[in-house]
Amino acid sequence: MSNSINWEQNFKEHEKLLEDWKKSCGDSFVKDGVVNNEEYKKSNPKILIVLKEVNDPEGGGWDLRKDFLSKGAPRYGFAWNNVTRWINGINYLINYKKIPLYYKENFEESYNEEYRKFFLNKIAVMNLKKTPGKSSSNIEEIERFAESNSDFLKRQFELINPDIVICGGTGEIFKKIIGLKDEDWERSIRGEYYLKTSDNKLILHHYHPGARIASNLLLYSILDTIYEVYYPI
């Protein structure tokens, strides 16, 4: 879906961006972005998950991609199992142009660390706040960080260059970062807010993957919206 671009150059610029960014944030900075460069280049569609911040009371200073996601998100299965379901379902939808049927054994029982590792290495993850928070996010702190780092965030988004963006409880803040307005949101039949950018990226205003909502509801509101937008009747 993404236009032909020089991914190696993008990845190189992205790493430099993170290094420059870290200098302004200090040692607590947590790097994020494309989890596995080679897998992301091959992926279709290219998916970006936009979240708030990492939960790390010990103070950060690590790499979300290399130290956590590339290893299958060990010990934190609940939220990342949901993200894995989303990736799996979206890939099926795009490849077969139909929504997969829901089977409990396919979308719940079989998910484990190795399964997460397989799918999480195909995507990008971007936190709006690059320094760690706690188990309950302070939305005002996240908004302040995003506003003061908006140029960095916007450039990171441009370099990741996804086809589909899922905002996990971050849609309103992310919308401002990339210069969109409230009236740009549309609403799907399922009630999911979404928008398409001028360069044909689809952005979904969704729940956080750790939300205490049934996993099938979180999954199919995404799939139904993508199907409605990409394959209208």
| Domains of the chain by residue range | 7-230
Assess contact for 70 and 31: CB atoms under 8 A.
no
Six token digits for residue 82: 């949901």
117-127 burial: b if 16+ Cβ within 10 Å, else e: bebbbbbbbbb
Q: How far is CA 188 from CA 32, 82, 95, 185, in A?
A: 30, 21, 22, 10
Over 70: is that where the pLDDT of 1 sits? Answer: no
Assess contact for 2 and 46: CB atoms under 8 A.
yes
Residue 55: partners with Cβ closer than 8 Å, 6 or more residues away:
132, 133, 134, 135
| Higher local confidence (pLDDT), 193 or 75 | 193
| Higher local confidence (pLDDT), 225 or 181 | 225
The rounded distance, in Å, linking the Cα atoms of 197 and 200 is 5
Over 70: is that where the pLDDT of 99 sits? Answer: yes
H or E element, residue 187: strand 186-187
**Average pLDDT taken over every residue of the chain:** 92
pLDDT at 102: 77
The verdict on whether omega for the bond into residue 45 sits within 30 degrees of 0, i.e. cis, is: yes
43 three-state secondary structure: coil
Fold of the domain spanning 7-230: Uracil-DNA Glycosylase, subunit E (3.40.470)
Bridge pairing between strands 164-168 and 47-51: parallel
Q: What is the average per-residue pLDDT within 49-75?
A: 94
Structure confidence at residue 26 as a pLDDT band (50, 70, 90): very high
Assess contact for 70 and 35: CB atoms under 8 A.
yes
The rounded distance, in Å, linking the Cα atoms of 21 and 13 is 12
pLDDT at 78: 85
pLDDT at 109: 56
Structure confidence at residue 105 as a pLDDT band (50, 70, 90): low
Assess contact for 194 and 204: CB atoms under 8 A.
yes
Residues pairing with 169 in the sheet: none
Q: Report DSSP state, residue 190.
A: T
What sections of 3-63 are H helices per DSSP? 7-25, 37-42
Structure confidence at residue 41 as a pLDDT band (50, 70, 90): very high
pTM of the predicted model, to two decimals? 0.94
pLDDT in tens, 175-218: 999 988 878 899 999 899 999 888 889 999 999 999 999 999 99
